[in-house]
Amino acid sequence: MRPRIMLIEDEIDLGNVVKQYLEVMDFDIDWCQNGNDAYLHFKSNAFLYDLLIIDVGLPGMNGFELARQVTNMRQDTSFLFLTARNEKSDRLQGLKIGADDYIVKPFDIEEMVLRIRNILKRKLPESIPAANLTITIGNTQFHKDQMKLVVGDQKEIILTEREAELLDYLFKNADRVIKREEILTQLWGKNDYFLGRSLDVFISRLRKYLGYSSQVSITNIYGVGFVFKTKKAEG
């Protein structure tokens, strides 16, 4: 079962990026855009969530007050705060309420994922089963927790974080045409020239790594995107 997270964030663009990225990283996400709605939703589903991500500066009920109300309903609730302020007093207040972590905007979303996983491993180790961290297609295995690609019996490649994100997305969308703009917006939040050039570099590297396998490959669809092909589909 995938860990379930409630995201409470009123910034639409940021909320969309975080939600989509965490879903790609194997989390189930419910998104509320203000504290009052989040409170009512949690009140009806208090034991559904493994973690809450709470923006401090919410309209209506602010993040600190929401966290107090949440912990009154369920004392073992895990949550972390997001804030645009890097004030020591705010951090101390959040930690006194019982926050597991505190992230200041702007933040690196890859770092957020690592922090979330650390919280869940510490409090709910069974919520991230090892099987979910390894994907196998043919003679190729991708170990997400180690960012390691294993091709055949011997070839092991340690990937960068961006390469690992992209490979994970390709594995999950095997044997279908994936548009360039889909990859860029789903993984990195926007479709622009510089990210597009970076995508080409990452694709080239992954194609080289997968060249050691006779069972999987990446094919360009000119002007559209890519197909991550498996031997079964080609047959």
Question: CA 53 to CA 96: how far, in whole Å?
Answer: 16
Average pLDDT over residues 143-148: 82
Q: How many percent of the chain have pLDDT more than 90? A: 35
Amino acid sitting at position 127 = S
- Whether residue 3 has pLDDT greater than 90: no
What is the predicted pLDDT for the residue at 164? 87
Confidence of residue 90 (pLDDT cuts 50, 70, 90): confident
Residue 121 has a pLDDT of 82
What 3-state DSSP class applies to 235? coil
**pLDDT for 194-219, tens place per residue?**
888 889 999 999 999 988 888 889 99
Residues 6+ apart with CB under 8 A from 4: 27, 28, 29, 30, 48, 49, 50
Amino acid 195: pLDDT: 82
pTM of the model: 0.56
Structural domains in the chain, sorted by start: 4-127 (3.40.50.2300), 133-234 (1.10.10.10)
Convert the pLDDT of each residue in 125-135 to its tens digit.
Answer: 554 444 457 88
Q: What is the pLDDT of residues 71-89, one digit of tens each?
A: 999 888 899 999 887 777 7
